[in-house]
Amino acid sequence: EAQVTQNPRYLITVTGKKLTVTCSQNMNHEYMSWYRQDPGLGLRQIYYSMNVEVTDKGDVPEGYKVSRKEKRNFPLILESPSPNQTSLYFCASGTLGGGYNEQFFGPGTRLTVL
Amino acid sequence: GIQVEQSPPDLILQEGANSTLRCNFSDSVNNLQWFHQNPWGQLINLFYIPSGTKQNGRLSATTVATERYSLLYISSSQTTDSGVYFCAVARNNAGNMLTFGGGTRLMVKP
């Protein structure tokens, strides 16, 4: 089944404890990205990647890191999480070019930072 | 950046009713998608529709790119249609970044 997977789905952690949220897709997509969703602020892009070893900032990159060492994986790293990073996080993937740019979203990771 | 506005913000329907959700955007786009966010928070792809009309069962969508709007039609609504519907667009030179509208929160009552 074609899908985007994220782990963990739920995480409660404490301020300053480094964490990684994994994202993997099995559709051979070049493009991957991370979004966060907050009440009243909607969904906003954190980082994106156009291909392996190519990453760039979205609208709200502060406090996050990403890497793209393999085409299928795009982990989101919070080196020192803070309470304002409590949010619902989505990973997405899609094709690039060819006039078709549909993006597919993972199931979401609900993160609480105490 | 591009602005995306959805209307109405909230909608309550009786089961079986029809509805139309609207998405207006402020610039030309190369991607327009409609999503349904279910009560568990998952974003479900409904339509990829940068232009034209598509139908999938009780749902259909139309995008008039030249006039910068898209419509999502829900016919014979069911309680499982409840949730939030998002329109999202991307511009050619925006790294495929999707800009989301504020959503329409739909509640279908039995």
pLDDT at B93: 58
Residue A110, burial from CB neighbour count under 10 angstroms (0-12, 13-18, 19+): middle
Q: Average pLDDT, stretch B25-29?
A: 91
pLDDT at B96: 74
Give chain B's contact residues with A (Cβ, < 8 Å): 30-31, 33, 35, 41-43, 45, 48, 86, 88, 90, 95-98, 100-103
Q: What does the pLDDT read at residue B55?
A: 97
Three-class SS state of A81: coil
pLDDT score recorded for residue A98 = 65
Return the residue in A10, A57, A103 with the most chain B beta carbons within 10 A, the one to mutate for interface testing: A103
Tens digit of pLDDT for each residue in A68-82?
Answer: 999 999 999 999 999
Let me know: does B14 contact B109? Beta carbons within 8 Å: yes
Q: CA separation (Å) from B7 to A72, B20, B70, B104?
A: 36, 9, 11, 6
Interface size A-B, in CB pairs within 8 Å, comes to 54
> pLDDT at residue B92 above 70?
no
Q: Do B95 and A110 touch (CB under 8 A)?
A: no
- A2-56 tens-digit pLDDT: 899 999 999 999 999 999 999 999 999 999 999 999 998 999 999 999 999 999 9
Closest alpha carbon within chain B to A41: B102
